[in-house]
Homo-oligomer: A and B are copies of this chain.
Amino acid sequence: MSKMRRSERIVRLTQILLEHPHRVLSLTEMAEKLASAKSSLSEDLAIIRDVMEAEGLGTLETQAGAAGGVRYVPGLRADLAEQFVQQVAQRLCSGDRILPGGFLYMSDVLGQTDVLDTAGKMFASRFREAGAEFVVTVETKGIPLAVATAKYLNVPMVIVRRDHKVTEGSSVSVNYVSGSRRIQTMSLSRRSLPERTKVLIIDDFMKAGGTAKALADLMREFQVEVVGVGVFISTIDPLDKMIDNYVSLATLSEMNEATREVAITPGTYFA
């Protein structure tokens, strides 16, 4: 490959870094790939890091030395995160969304790629030091959020099923009592998680926390450590959840079926 000009190198480096968050990329390998000197690469990376930091989009961590490498650590500046939650709240705060039984319709919002992408960045940014080796969710509505978070943390994503499936092989199941007081089941394929790993739990909604607690119980069966719990929206009531230390992006602070009023405020992420 012929030598690249700086501007070409910067396009390629930016692209490689953005597409591989949280992966340490070897400077030696990149220098070979781009047919450039490591010193030029270091200057390029400094420019990229400065722009990322100025725009509040994360940073680059570089390790010096012969085995030197660089890693893109996604982030989202606090004001951009707040702006995002305000936009989501605006969309969700509509009386039309209140369903019989006091549920809030939010499937459309959780299908928007921009929403998923930003939420994934926020979770990945908050839990970047937690050491999660997998992102775990339970079907169904939390899956897209788990996909986006796993992407920005560069770890695989694991889906817990509501019942045992023939396509999953031998599985471990637990029962729990859901918010609607029914006994429910969760089931996870034995092959899906190695023992003694660390996981981050991601879900779309938390009321009392029964689902998250059941997920944590299931993880214990796998001898797996839960290093964090992230939910898109948690309800203000009950204040005492069955899980401590969860991170929610937004709080459903009011939903009145009679007056059709919905209020959504920033979540524990901002506390």
Complex alpha-carbon distance, A103 and B168, angstroms: 9
Check if A117 is an interface residue, CB within 8 A of chain B. Answer: yes
Residue contact B47 to A8, C-beta cutoff 8 Å: yes
Give the shortest distance, in Å, between A35 (CB) and chain B (any CB).
13
Q: Mark A78-121, 1 if CB is under 8 A from B, else 0.
A: 00000000000000000000011101110110011100110000
Complex alpha-carbon distance, A156 and B8, angstroms: 32
Give the chain B neighbours of A198 by CB distance below 8 A.
none
Of A24-32, A49-57, A223-231, A252-260, which stretch is located at the interface? A49-57
Of A157-165, A209-217, A262-270, which stretch is located at the interface? A157-165
Give the chain B neighbours of A14 by CB distance below 8 A.
10-11, 14-15, 18
Check if A41 is an interface residue, CB within 8 A of chain B. Answer: no
Give the chain B neighbours of A169 by CB distance below 8 A.
99, 105
- Residue of B with least CB distance to A16: B55
Of A125-133, A139-147, A234-242, which stretch is located at the interface? A139-147
Give the shortest distance, in Å, between A71 (CB) and chain B (any CB).
15
Residue contact A161 to B140, C-beta cutoff 8 Å: yes
Complex alpha-carbon distance, A192 and B166, angstroms: 29
- Seen from chain A, the residues whose Cβ lies within 8 Å of a Cβ on chain B are 6-8, 10-12, 14-15, 18-19, 44, 47-48, 50-52, 55, 57, 99-101, 103-105, 107-108, 111-113, 116-117, 139-141, 143-144, 147-148, 150-151, 154-159, 161, 166-169, 189, 191-192
19 pairs across A/B with beta carbons < 8 Å? A7-B44, A10-B11, A10-B14, A11-B14, A11-B47, A99-B167, A103-B166, A104-B167, A107-B158, A107-B189, A107-B191, A111-B159, A113-B155, A113-B157, A117-B151, A140-B140, A143-B147, A144-B159, A147-B148
